[in-house]
Structure 1
Amino acid sequence: MSNVAYSRHDDIAVLTIQNPPVNALSLAVRQGLMAGMDQAEADSGVRAVLIVGEGRAFIAGADITEFGKTPQAPWLPDVCNRIEASPLLVVGSMHGVSLGGGLEVALAAHYRIAQPSSRVGLPEVHLGLIPGAGATQRLPRLIGVEKALDAITTGRHIKAPEALEMGIIDKVEEGDPEAVGLAYTRSLLDEGASRRAVSEMPSPQAIDWHAAYDATLKKGRGQISPAQAVRAVQASVEQSFEEGMKTERQMFMDLMKTDQREGMIHAFFSERAVGNLPELKGVEPRALQSIGVIGGGTMGAGIATAAVLAGFEVVLIEMKDEAAAAAHERIAGNLSGAVKRGKITQQKFDALTTVALTVSTNYDSLASVDLVVEAVFEDMDVKKDVFGKLDAVCKPGCVLATNTSYLDVNEIADSTSRPADVIGLHFFSPAHVMKLLEVVVADKTAADVVATGFALGKALGKTSVRAGVCDGFIGNRILATYRTAADHMVLDGATPYQIDAALEKFGFAMGPFAVADLAGLDIGWMTRKRKAPTRHADERVPTYIDRLCEQGHFGQKTGQGYYIYEKGKRGGVPNPAITRLIEEEQTALGITPRAFTDAEIVRRYMSAMVNEAAKVVGEGIAKRPLDVDMTLVFGYGFPRYWGGPMKWADLQGLGAVLSDIETYAQEDAWFWQPAPLLTKLVAEGRTFDDLNKEAAK
């Protein structure tokens, strides 16, 4: 059966795309559209062509199975040009999603109608590319430069009513896409509407292109594809349509060859693979309707907020009435933000805060919940006490989860009579916003409990990563190491502010010292004190920041840390006390400070991250390198366009990374011990991505 079916309704030919599940633009679909246009134009009496998709969508975009392969003719730009050039009236009837090439096909039609629930968009920038089949040339002609730049450089999904207002589509109407499309096409013919090829419309008005380019590059934190899209749209103003198409195509092909494109394609596929675990095939999760949360602080309130928004009944436990009232207020505040953003209605808010949410000081209120997440103070004795209470009141089969960031989940599990029901669910703050969830599997955790953890993550809209038990699991263990590398550079002469700036330029959302201020310096201080009794004699541990903590300064929440923060002002300014404390420690240790280049800062920081990540994978804490990549991308602000630290290492060449580590080891052999897995891969001429592919078999 052809992927594009041809039918006729009086003088209207209908091309129905039939490539389930989402009508991706495969070679067969492209061929079918070309053949369908030929057939319609050869069919006597046909005056118009309606293009419609069967099933869930109009056209969801490119066929991802063709990614990385040599494209075959007909290429999509030629398909779009063929559709637009037709002497017949061409109408696109859109439903579901029309993304990327799907929207480009629709823009090649002369008129567009869409279902109210449909969405359109050009998400190519999220793959390190720009639209490559004419959207950067057609969309500005249709709706103007500024609106086109917003759509193209953000890659956002645009709902049909907004798309109508923007001028992307001509009409919104509910109904069967084919029936609605036929009625609209008939009305156009009856009105004597003429062909309306977007490429024949006048060029749009120019803007300040340099300012737009610079602003887009800054907003993308170094990602080049959105900024290149600005230049492609510029071509729609300054060149003829034909020349602009050539410019767009050349830019598209140039971006195809970049590391950023390779990194973003890796992230695209890894995001989909990360929750696909062989150990869970055929394993059914336990039923989840009601969830308990212990602790109503920032983390607990965030978890509760995420859970009620996902449709769960939530029982939150606090120690005292005042704390319970404060917790309820925090959750209500979080949900008020959702109301302001239009995510939920006031009526929904009222239902969530009064019916779906129960705040109690009595553990007996948890008797019937299906899963409990403990989010109390990061202290083993405190957590064991909580789990003892849960063990006593929770029903058989209830999943008992700890939100610990570092502590031993095995030890927590063994403090109960049901270790098979215990799992770590490490949320990231704010839990109702951050996408990452580390599902920490203890030695005795039952398979269906693991499946339940992933099912909860999916229900909450999280990217869930499986982690084994160790100090810090995947993310915080690696964080501790690359943060230590930054601390060492500070002792040796780089400033925290140079390091933050260099890493933000690399693409991180924030530098490590700004992040420490945001998280709270007391967290690292506590961790250093906890690890002190077992610390290796050769380990270099800076203590200058502890002096600041001893004075009660913990970062943003106290107004002073590495930076000084003023109320009402965004961000902070360097704290001069830090420079003095660093100099005092350098003098005490006999260190003569030296200069660091930004490139050296990035290389050391990244090498430490990759080396520890390789140890995490080699020890089985992370099952695959891609698990590390997604943890760092979704939880730690790692630039998505590098794909993650393991992908970055592959792009640099593992041999070059190992060589750097071996060079750094000449200064500090204890810290820079090469990961056995990294050494092995280099010796075998293999990559981290080879391990991902092996795991997928």
Structure 2
Amino acid sequence: MDYAVRDGVAVITLDNPPVNGLGHSTRLGILEGVERANGDANVRALVLIGAGKAFSGGADITEFNTPKATQEPTLMTVIEAVEESAKPVIAAIHAVAMGGGLELALGAHYRIAAPGAQIALPEVKLGLLPGAGGTQRLPRAVGLETALNMIVAGAPVLSETLAQTALFDEIADGDLLDAALRFARRAADREGPHPKVRNRPIEHPNAEGFIQFARNSVAAVAKHFPAPHKCIDAIEKGVQEGFERGLAFERECFLALVQTPESRALRHAFFGERAAGKIADVPSNTPVRKIERIGVVGAGTMGGGIAMNFLNAGLSVVLLETKQDALDRGIATIRRNYEAQAKKGKLTQDKLEARMALIQPTLAYDDLAHADLIIEAVFEELGVKEQVFRQLDEIAKPGAILASNTSTLDLNRIAAFTRRPDDVIGMHFFSPANVMKLLEVVRGEKTAKDVLATVMQLAKKIRKTAVVSGVCDGFIGNRMVEQYIRQALFMLEEGALPAQIDRAIEKFGFAMGPFRMSDLAGNDIGWAIRKRRYREQPDLRYSRVADRLCEMGRFGQKTGAGWYDYEPGRRDALPSKAVDEMIFAYSQEQGAARRRIGDEEIVERLVFSLVNEGAKILEEGIAAKASDIDMVYLTGYGFPLWRGGPMLYADTVGLYNVERAIRKYAQQPNGEAWQPAARVSELAASAGRFNG
């Protein structure tokens, strides 16, 4: 915090990098600055301004869940002091005014903004509502409709868009501080008292009708999240009963929402995404390699999708295939994907052509010789990977990073096909690679730290959530999902049917059940993995019901038949009589007495199989922390966001109850698949949690 007086104006500069979070020391500095200015006869006005990148991004996230977050002076206390200042206070906003930062500005008497400043109250994205008057002051500054939309969506709005509202007295032209000082001197010449946003009426021709419309809209899209509903309730309270009662109700709602599992899940995801990028033995200042030119080997569905990520980021891509027709199909698919975006208005024709111009299609490995990063996206078979990596080792320049998109194979064996294993890393994209947010970054035994740091930084550039995994069969995501699928197949054998299992887990919140997911991915992919398991782990028991399905040629949507039937040109999953009959016959062959399996058992067996395997992954050090596992499942596998991921869900249920359920299922048919992970038993015994 910096305090200076310039020609009768006290300039209080928020200085808490990177975005001037309103931590305790910053709040205290603002309050002391306001009091100091009001006690100085030579000061006629005050300017609040931010140093560096922003006015203020709101709460200081480093203080979340610590005593400092609620230590006086709280933000409410600071805003009250600003609002009650006898001398005019001007908030000068540049770049970002979000959350508590915007609430602080709303407490000032006047506000001026630089063009392009992002204005938002994004608390709803953490399962909360603004807790320092935002639901009461913003509707009085920008109008009911605009404020409600901003608060419920939590999305930023540019300062120019709000220029004609009472939020801003001026959009600055030129240097913001100079403009603020000029404005402050004019404000000082005005007779007091100076305007307070809290005293403005909330204007709308039919407030009651609009609030009801908003409530209906939120009910349709946010049924699993209480925060948007509470935002509307708090705004309505202010409309109907005035500022003070609205403010008290807002605080009551904030304190209630903090305790909800949904807010806890959203906050867990928020911090988990940031924590995923922090690697204990790779310092943040680790030098990174320059990445400007990308090579992608394979122009199929995965290779083309991978290439699009880099084209979208403005990086040139050399796309390699072995046959001209396959290469032509790959390029055509990329263009078709971009044209679909253009039709939806998400991409201009100029940008489309600019991205396509960044692709160099080729049939020659030598064209990859100048690439800084080469990603292999070929068939998931070790012999095929070996051929590719031996060729890449011959032609890639020194210092080039060689990455495999393998989803299950041993990265250390792949790295050993080269004479530069320290340059080899796994980059496991999820299909469709140009859409899915998750990137599993697989760290081999010899992967260099600068290679890992470079790929993690690059992931941010292509807007992926990168999670580091150690080397094991399936890494984090697919290793866990294999146990999930095993349980789903056992339940078919024991008495359930595909539609019931999918329906139960989708009701729990998954985007897609295991059988619809398998049909979408291709049942032959899982079949190939199981065949390898039968060779490598002959003692590991699987239900062979899925093999029987594949022997019928039912590979999923691509063949028009899988666990479900599909009509030509449609993706609706229709229950299949033929599949049901096959399942009944299989159960009979196995001597399995079919029984009724309830939805609760389905959900427990599927979710707790993920939890138990996740615990083993933590024990083995494949994942560094439980939140990394949760980020994999939230961003790559459709786990419901409001439940926070499998490991947080287990914490919510309680590890004692998880272990108890696991031991119960171990006594049932196919119970050999259940053995509590040591970490589960330890935490159950100590009332511990995966996420601290």
The amino acid that maps onto 1:666 is Q
Deviates more, 1:638-647 or 1:297-306: 638-647
CA distance in 2, matches of 1:428, 1:165: 44
Alpha carbons 2:3, 2:10 under 8 Å: kept: no
1:375 is displaced (CA, Å) by 0.6
Partner of 1:649: 650
1:57 is displaced (CA, Å) by 0.9
- Residues 277-318 of structure 1: per-residue CA shift (max 9 Å, x gap): 233236433332211001112211121111123232211101
CA distance in 1, matches of 2:374, 2:118: 37
- TM-score (norm: length of structure 1): 0.89
CA distance in 2, matches of 1:166, 1:429: 44
Deviates more, 1:635-644 or 1:368-377: 635-644
Partner of 2:95: 96
CA distance in 2, matches of 1:219, 1:574: 28
CA distance in 1, matches of 2:101, 2:682: 44
Partner of 2:132: 133
Alpha carbons 2:499, 2:575 under 8 Å: kept: yes
Query: 252, 263, 266: which one pairs with 1:264?
Result: 266
The amino acid that maps onto 1:289 is E
Partner of 1:694: none
Alpha carbons 1:264, 1:640 under 8 Å: kept: yes
Alignment of 1:543-558 (within 5 A): 543=545, 545-558=546-559
Partner of 2:679: 677
Give the direction of change, closer, same or farther, for the CA distance of 1:24–1:443 in structure 2 (3 Å limit): closer
Query: 21, 28, 39: which one pairs with 1:31?
Result: 28
Give the direction of change, closer, same or farther, for the CA distance of 1:488–1:626 in structure 2 (3 Å limit): same
Question: Equivalent residue of 2:278, what SS?
Answer: coil
Give the direction of change, closer, same or farther, for the CA distance of 1:453–1:182 in structure 2 (3 Å limit): same
Query: 288, 291, 309: which one pairs with 2:291?
Result: 288
Alpha carbons 1:5, 1:18 under 8 Å: kept: no
Give the direction of change, closer, same or farther, for the CA distance of 1:38–1:443 in structure 2 (3 Å limit): closer
Partner of 2:614: 613
1:163 is displaced (CA, Å) by 4.2
CA distance in 1, matches of 2:526, 2:223: 27
CA distance in 2, matches of 1:174, 1:329: 47
- Residues 639-659 of structure 1: per-residue CA shift (max 9 Å, x gap): 334332222222322222111
Partner of 2:319: 316
- CA RMSD in angstroms, aligned pairs only: 3.1
Deviates more, 1:593-602 or 1:431-440: 593-602
In the alignment of these two chains, the number of paired residues is: 685
Question: Equivalent residue of 1:138, what SS?
Answer: helix
Query: 62, 65, 79: which one pairs with 2:62?
Result: 65
- Residues 3-59 of structure 1: per-residue CA shift (max 9 Å, x gap): 25253545x554332333322112233233334444555555866543221221101
Alignment of 1:482-521 (within 5 A): 482-521=484-523
Give the direction of change, closer, same or farther, for the CA distance of 1:449–1:238 in structure 2 (3 Å limit): same
Alignment of 1:401-416 (within 5 A): 401-416=403-418
Alpha carbons 2:145, 2:210 under 8 Å: kept: no
CA distance in 1, matches of 2:625, 2:254: 31
CA distance in 2, matches of 1:6, 1:418: 57
Question: Equivalent residue of 1:664, what SS?
Answer: helix
CA distance in 2, matches of 1:503, 1:364: 48
Alpha carbons 1:221, 1:509 under 8 Å: kept: no
Partner of 1:5: 3
Partner of 2:419: 417
- Residues 508-563 of structure 1: per-residue CA shift (max 9 Å, x gap): 333333322332333223323333334545624151x5455445444344444445
1:372 is displaced (CA, Å) by 0.7
Alpha carbons 2:129, 2:227 under 8 Å: kept: yes
Deviates more, 1:603-612 or 1:233-242: 233-242
**Unmatched tracts of structure 2, length 5 or more:** none
Alpha carbons 2:173, 2:179 under 8 Å: kept: yes
CA distance in 1, matches of 2:520, 2:37: 62
Partner of 1:18: 15
CA distance in 1, matches of 2:411, 2:345: 39
CA distance in 2, matches of 1:589, 1:617: 35
1:86 is displaced (CA, Å) by 4.7
CA distance in 1, matches of 2:584, 2:216: 37
Partner of 1:52: 49
Partner of 1:431: 433
Give the direction of change, closer, same or farther, for the CA distance of 1:542–1:233 in structure 2 (3 Å limit): farther
The amino acid that maps onto 1:391 is D
Question: Equivalent residue of 2:435, what SS?
Answer: coil
Alpha carbons 2:142, 2:162 under 8 Å: kept: no
- Residues 449-472 of structure 1: per-residue CA shift (max 9 Å, x gap): 333332332332322222122221
Give the direction of change, closer, same or farther, for the CA distance of 1:170–1:427 in structure 2 (3 Å limit): farther
Partner of 2:370: 368
The amino acid that maps onto 1:677 is R
Give the direction of change, closer, same or farther, for the CA distance of 1:167–1:498 in structure 2 (3 Å limit): farther
Partner of 2:636: 635
The amino acid that maps onto 2:619 is G
Partner of 1:466: 468
1:61 is displaced (CA, Å) by 0.7
CA distance in 2, matches of 1:61, 1:549: 54
The amino acid that maps onto 1:327 is G
Alignment of 1:515-530 (within 5 A): 515-530=517-532
Question: Equivalent residue of 1:400, what SS?
Answer: strand
CA distance in 1, matches of 2:350, 2:426: 34
Alpha carbons 1:424, 1:438 under 8 Å: kept: yes
1:495 is displaced (CA, Å) by 4.0
1:335 is displaced (CA, Å) by 4.3
Alpha carbons 1:304, 1:316 under 8 Å: kept: yes
- TM-score (norm: length of structure 2): 0.90
- Residues 319-359 of structure 1: per-residue CA shift (max 9 Å, x gap): 222322222233334445666777766444433322x3211
Alignment of 1:184-263 (within 5 A): 184-185=183-184, 195-203=194-202, 204=204, 205-207=207-209, 212-213=214-215, 215-216=217-218, 219-220=221-222, 222-263=224-265
CA distance in 1, matches of 2:579, 2:242: 57
Question: Equivalent residue of 1:689, what SS?
Answer: coil
Alpha carbons 1:662, 1:674 under 8 Å: kept: yes
Deviates more, 1:482-491 or 1:460-469: 482-491
Instruction: Give me the identity figure in percent.
Output: 44
Partner of 1:693: none
Give the direction of change, closer, same or farther, for the CA distance of 1:299–1:572 in structure 2 (3 Å limit): same
Partner of 2:390: 388
Partner of 1:114: 113
Give the direction of change, closer, same or farther, for the CA distance of 1:149–1:498 in structure 2 (3 Å limit): farther
Partner of 2:304: 301
CA distance in 2, matches of 1:211, 1:586: 52
- Residues 397-425 of structure 1: per-residue CA shift (max 9 Å, x gap): 32221101112222222233333332211
Partner of 1:152: 151
CA distance in 2, matches of 1:344, 1:185: 43
Alpha carbons 1:5, 1:17 under 8 Å: kept: no
**Unmatched tracts of structure 1, length 5 or more:** 691-697
Partner of 2:179: 180
The amino acid that maps onto 2:300 is G
The amino acid that maps onto 1:639 is P
Deviates more, 1:474-483 or 1:594-603: 594-603
Give the direction of change, closer, same or farther, for the CA distance of 1:538–1:292 in structure 2 (3 Å limit): closer
Alpha carbons 1:372, 1:398 under 8 Å: kept: yes
Give the direction of change, closer, same or farther, for the CA distance of 1:217–1:579 in structure 2 (3 Å limit): farther
CA distance in 2, matches of 1:521, 1:38: 69
Question: Equivalent residue of 2:319, what SS?
Answer: strand
1:135 is displaced (CA, Å) by 1.2
1:610 is displaced (CA, Å) by 0.7
CA distance in 1, matches of 2:458, 2:20: 30
Give the direction of change, closer, same or farther, for the CA distance of 1:598–1:222 in structure 2 (3 Å limit): farther
Alpha carbons 2:115, 2:159 under 8 Å: kept: yes
1:608 is displaced (CA, Å) by 0.8
